[in-house]
Amino acid sequence: MYNIFFDKAGQLHEEGVAFALATVVRFEAPSSGKPGDKAIIKADGTIEGWIGGGCTQPVVIKEAQLALQDGNPRLIRIAAASNIKKNGMVVYPMTCHSGGELDVFIEPVYPKPHMVILGHSVVAQTLCRLAHAIHYRVTVCAPEADHALDLDARVLSESWDLSSIKATPHTFVVVATQGEGDEAALREALKTEWSYLAFVASRKKAGVVLGTLREEGLDTGKVESIRVPAGLDIKARLPEEIAVSILAEVIQVKREVMPDADQNETQQVIETGYLAETLKIEEMSCQHCVSTVEKTLHKLDGVHVGEVLIGSADISYNPEEVKREDIVAAIEKRGYQVLVQPN
């Protein structure tokens, strides 16, 4: 079983899919989860493996999704206690009538950043080695390159074709052709939307090359999205310095694509005139509770229901149609308490 489990984890890692690894570290009978039991949870809530039954899985899935959002591991306990933080541990009430306790350690696992380099210039070669040194996956596309070059690439392609490369928030593309196939490499790169696409060139040269692409009819918005000159402005001059500046910018972008763990905590006004808010709801500790709260919210006029998870519900509502206190009253009528008031 564990071979299959780790094969799946390895497959997701290679595919560039983030997931959380949940492991049971302690139990008290009659809990069905036992120490060493493991599960993989993806951001969409799908789960593979075993960490206990219906009273355990919804809580673990919720905390796994939060771990993927904020990047922090956590230790949770499902026991006869209220939902509080205690010495770094989050405690959830055990809702199974059979009782028992379970401690589960949840750790987010992110794929290695993937550096895709087009070209075999000195900048490309240096960037390849630097990315490899900090454990990035590296793919180099270098048609007509001397393959005796000392390139620390996981994949060395003789084509500009990027169709086999999956675009993820952790995929970074750098065109470092420097005069050898600039337009061809950029045309291929622009077929896909990347979280980062940079072109190694001076502003003057880039203006000519990108102007050619626009004249060919390529989407102007996509062309203008190319980062040029590539890299942070650290006054780099030497090819090796330029490679350092590019990697520094990639690291900066990689940090920026991590979701803000607090972004769902803040009330905000959206363009339609609705208020968006995440309600924190006590005693909402199982899938039945989630379904009950979700159905209750859907019955209210002027309320749009987003994601409803154990302990929370994302909603937006029109204050001209329904008051917040009416929403709270409807939830509390079902036996739950809304904990967080709006700012």
User: Which of the 8 DSSP states describes residue 36?
Assistant: T
User: Which of the 8 DSSP states describes residue 242?
Assistant: H
Selected residue with higher pLDDT from 90 and 111: 111
Q: What is residue 29's predicted lDDT score, i.e. its pLDDT?
A: 72
Percentage of the residues of the chain whose pLDDT score is greater than 90? 30
Q: What is residue 2's predicted lDDT score, i.e. its pLDDT?
A: 59
d(CA 323, CA 94): 33
- Note whether 43 and 16 are within 8 A (CB): no
Q: Is the pLDDT of residue 343 over 50?
A: no
CA distances in angstroms from 130 to 133, 223, 233, 240, listed in the order given: 5, 27, 18, 10
Q: How do residues 237-269 score in pLDDT, each as one tens digit?
A: 899 999 999 999 999 988 776 544 334 333 333
Ranges in the chain annotated CATH 3.40.50.720? 114-256
Q: How do residues 285-322 score in pLDDT, each as one tens digit?
A: 676 788 888 889 988 888 888 778 878 888 888 888 88
Q: What is residue 261's predicted lDDT score, i.e. its pLDDT?
A: 38
User: Which residues touch 268 (CB under 8 Å, ≥6 apart)?
Assistant: 275, 276
pTM of the model: 0.61
For residue 259, say if its preceding peptide bond is cis, omega within 30 degrees of 0. no
Q: What is residue 154's predicted lDDT score, i.e. its pLDDT?
A: 60
Q: Give the ranges where the chain is alpha helix by DSSP (H).
A: 2-15, 57-70, 122-133, 182-189, 203-215, 220-224, 239-256, 287-298, 324-333
d(CA 217, CA 204): 21
- Note whether 121 and 180 are within 8 A (CB): yes
Please report, in angstroms and rounded to a whole number, the separation of the first and last CA atoms in the chain: 49
Q: Is the pLDDT of residue 332 over 80?
A: yes
Q: Which two structure tokens, joined as six digits, stand for 44? A: 């969409």
d(CA 165, CA 194): 11
Strand 47-49 versus strand 101-109 pairing type: unpaired
Domain 263-338 has CATH 3.30.499.10: no
Ranges in the chain annotated CATH 3.30.70.100? 263-338
Q: What is residue 86's predicted lDDT score, i.e. its pLDDT?
A: 57
d(CA 33, CA 54): 11
Q: Which two structure tokens, joined as six digits, stand for 145? A: 């390159």
Mean pLDDT of 151-176: 83
Query: Which numeric CATH code is attached to 114-256?
Result: 3.40.50.720
Q: How do residues 177-223 score in pLDDT, each as one tens digit?
A: 988 899 999 999 999 999 899 999 998 999 999 999 999 988 888 89
